[in-house]
Structures are given as structure tokens and as C-alpha cells.
Chain A
Amino acid sequence: MEAERRLRPEDVVELNPNYHFRWEEPQQAHVLLYPEGIVKLNQTAAAILEACTGAPSIADGTAELSRRYDKRNLGAEVLKFLEVAHAKGWIRVKS
């Protein structure tokens, strides 16, 4: 297995193109849909995914979250969740 390095704040991450991320009204939750699978996300997870995929970097996404929720020092929490999302294949590092 190729050695997986840990994510860094300057990394750019994107959603795995085989995954669809969206709000699902009946569930009142964000969901990830992928080949034959569903994941229902809690609010925090959804907010992090939304802010960090598509941002110029993880650090930028984190700053955006800090502004939106008026909270500081989110960096460690964000990286921890993104590591999990990365390990599960939901997101990938853009080269």
C-alpha cells in the first residue's frame, strides 16, 4: 500500500467525483451519495466538507468556518475530520 501522508493546512482538497454531496429535505440533513451507499452527515461534518472542498486550501476553508461560526482555533478539529473523510475516500488531495 502506498504510504498515506497526513493532510496539511496548505493542501487543496476536493470531493471524490464519484460522490454527490447535497442537502436532503426529508432527512433534514446533508447526505453523501455514492455507488450503492449513503452517508448521513451531522451538521459539523457537513459544514467542514462544504467549506473545505472547493476552497483554495484547507486553511482558507478553516478561516471561512471561523468567520461563519465566530470560533477560533478550529484548525485541529477540521484536520481531524478531513483525515477521516480522506481515509474513507470521500475527498482527495488535488495535485
Chain B
Amino acid sequence: MPKAGSGLSLDGLGMPLWLVVELTYKCPLKCPWCSNPVDFNRYRNELTTEEWKAVLREGRRLGSLQLGFTGGEPMLRRDLEELVEEADGLGYYTNLITSGVGLNEKRLRALKKAGLKQIQLSIQACDQELNEKLVGLDVFAHKIAIARTIKAEGFPMVLNVPVSRYNIDHTAAFIELAADLGVEYVEFANLQYYNWALLNRAELLPTREQLARSEAEVKAARERLGKRLTIYYVVPDYHDNRPKACMNGWGSIHLTIAPDGTALPCQEARLIKEIEFPNVRHHALDWIWTRSPAFNQFRGESWMKEPCRSCSEKEKDFGGCRCQAYLMTGDAANTDPVCAKSPHRHLVDALISGAETRRDQKPLIMREGGYPRRTGAR
């Protein structure tokens, strides 16, 4: 995902500068906040190697520059090296976004040879026990070992921490771990509450006090470590009173292709069931990006309602996130309810105070195929 201070304020001249390819929804892990669709198991007709290559070529022709290989777990695709090589040849800056499962020294070397530029590795806890509780499998030792191998092979690396109530108190320990691993960047990504995270929201939302402590720890570490380690901190959405400038605007610089070839303005957008998103199997990417009704639905400002329409902030935040407006108000064209001016802001406030007062703990619903069940640890 684009980081603050990087692509966010960029004028792409109408080009999809960021192309994200979700090679598969399959994944051996079961993160109960996974951003993949809750019914991910329904989408099994993944694009073939040749179909992905065509997407890469068309994307480059449209002006895409940054390319993210993600999923599910992209390492499950045996043709990843071949796709990276194709992408590098086309002139993309290639990023791999992985849990590390399926990654080994041999494949790292092949990826390096294919021209892979950067790896983002996710880590969910600083110890084996909590990590296993959160992802459902004993993979902590492997993650640490593979992080060291990634550095030994000379890749720049982002350590990604998906932040929830369960791991937020370990902020300082994560920073220490990142410094010890010698990574260039650590990203604390407070969870975004869509799909699996939405199912588990009441269990995952941190308290205000937890957030304040973690932010203070980040501030102290930035002062201490300076240029040695860059710390990105994706602020929690709900606790702000202005919405995030989601995706720099709908259909502005960001294009995601889902495993089955569905083209999306952001990774979560297919949860808006009223919109029919075009598929690269049936349409040229050029048409999808510039002309399709789905990509034009919330482009620019003409679709906005009040209070956004007459607000001076609309060029800065584009009215926030369409998916969040849809999930919380039932209409994707409404103002993001995170905004203090939204008539729905009380819904967000109720969630925040819910996190302060909650007493009973429920088990987490782990990401699995089939119908979501409460099977996780308490």
C-alpha cells in the first residue's frame, strides 16, 4: 500500500502509477484480520501465467510504475519468478508482499536474478506463542530466519506489522526486532476494518490508551534511531476526525487486479456489491481504467453529496473511503463516517467507546474457507 509521504500527493496525470496484482487468494495462514474477501474460497479461477503477463504489459502501457505482487500468499504461485522477470523487463519497480511462508534461499536468489527490487515481510508478534495464536500456524522461527536471509541476499526490506489490540503493546519490541534484523523500514499498519477484520472488529480494536502509548514509543524510537530505521506509522482510521485520503481518490493512481482478473480501484472494493467490476479476461485494461463505469463511478468530485460537496477539504481527502461509507452507512456515495462532519460519525464513536468498555472476550474468527466460525484462541 502507498506510504504517507511517498506516492500519496503524487499527480499521476491520470495514470495508474500503482499496480497491485493479487496472484492468488490462497494462503496457509489464517490471520483473523485478513483483507481478502470473506468468501475468498469462491474465486478459484486464477489468471494463468500468460494472462498475468498480458496484464503487466498493458499496465505498463497505461503508465504504471510501481508493481506489488501480493495475495493471499504470492509465494504459492510457482510462476512468480517468471512474472517478476517479465515485470522487470517492462521497467516496473517490483515489490513482493509476503508472509514469508514458502520463501527460501533458493527462491530468493531466483527472485533476485529475475530483478525483484524490494520485499515487504509481515510479522504479527515478537514471540512464537502470540504469533501462532494470531496466524494459526507455528511459523515464527521461519519468519525470523527468512528475514535474515532476505537481508543477506541484499534486498531492501519493509517489516510490516498489522496492528491490533493483541500486539500493540509490543511496539517497542517490534522496533528492537526490526533494528536487530537490519531492515530499512518498519511499518506499523493499524488494521483497516474490512472483510475478516470487520468480522473480528470488536476483538481487535485497541483502546485509546494503548494507541497513545504505542505512538509515544514510535516517537522516542524515531529520535533515537534517526536514519538507521525509517518507521512508518499508519494511524488508526477511526480515531482520527478527518478521513484518510483513500487511494488518493477512486480511480486516481491505484489499480488492483484480483486473482480471477477482476479489476478494482482498491483491494477492498469488491465488497461494494452494487458495483459490477470489469474483468481483464473480457475487457482491455485501457478501457477498464479510462472508460469503465466502475472506475468512473467515484472519480473526481461530481458524485459527492453533502457535507463533502461544499467542503473545502474535498480536494485533500476526496471524501474518504467509499468502502467504509458503504459498510457503515449502506451507501458508498456518502461521506466517510470517520469524518467529524458526517451525520454518521456517532457510529464510529460508538465503536471506539466499545473498545474502552469491553469486558467479555470472544474467540477470534480465523480466516478459513467455508463459513466463518469462531474457532480461534481467546
Interface residues of A (CB under 8 A from B): 1-2, 18, 20, 24, 26-27, 31, 33-40, 89
Q: How far is the CA of A34 from the CA of B246 in the complex (A)?
A: 21
**B117-131 contact mask (Cβ, 8 Å, vs A): 1 or 0:** 110100000000000
Contact of A33 among B5, B93, B223 (CB under 8 A): B93
15 contacts between A and B (CB under 8 A): A1-B223, A1-B225, A1-B226, A18-B184, A26-B13, A31-B65, A35-B117, A35-B184, A36-B2, A36-B95, A36-B158, A37-B3, A37-B6, A38-B6, A38-B65
Interface centre among A18, A20, A33, A35 (most CB of B within 10 A): A35
- CB-based contact B226/A27 at 8 Å: no
Chain B nearest CB, measured from A67 CB (Å): 31
Chain A residues near B226 (CB, 8 Å)? 1-2
Chain A residues near B118 (CB, 8 Å)? 18, 34-36
- CB-based contact B15/A18 at 8 Å: no
Interface size of B as a range: 20 to 34
Chain B nearest CB, measured from A48 CB (Å): 20
Q: How far is the CA of A36 from the CA of B93 in the complex (A)?
A: 9
- CB-based contact A35/B225 at 8 Å: no
Q: Number of contacts between A and B (CB, 8 Å)?
A: 66
Chain A residues near B93 (CB, 8 Å)? 20, 33-34, 38
Q: How far is the CA of A12 from the CA of B131 in the complex (A)?
A: 45
Chain B nearest CB, measured from A24 CB (Å): 7
Chain B nearest CB, measured from A42 CB (Å): 12
Chain B nearest CB, measured from A41 CB (Å): 12
Nearest residue (CB) in A for B223 is A1
Nearest residue (CB) in B for A2 is B226
Q: How far is the CA of A33 from the CA of B7 in the complex (A)?
A: 10
A40-B10 contact in complex given A1-B223, A1-B224, A20-B117, C-beta closer than 8 Å: yes
- CB-based contact B7/A37 at 8 Å: yes
The answer to whether the Cβ of B262 comes within 8 Å of any Cβ in the partner chain is no
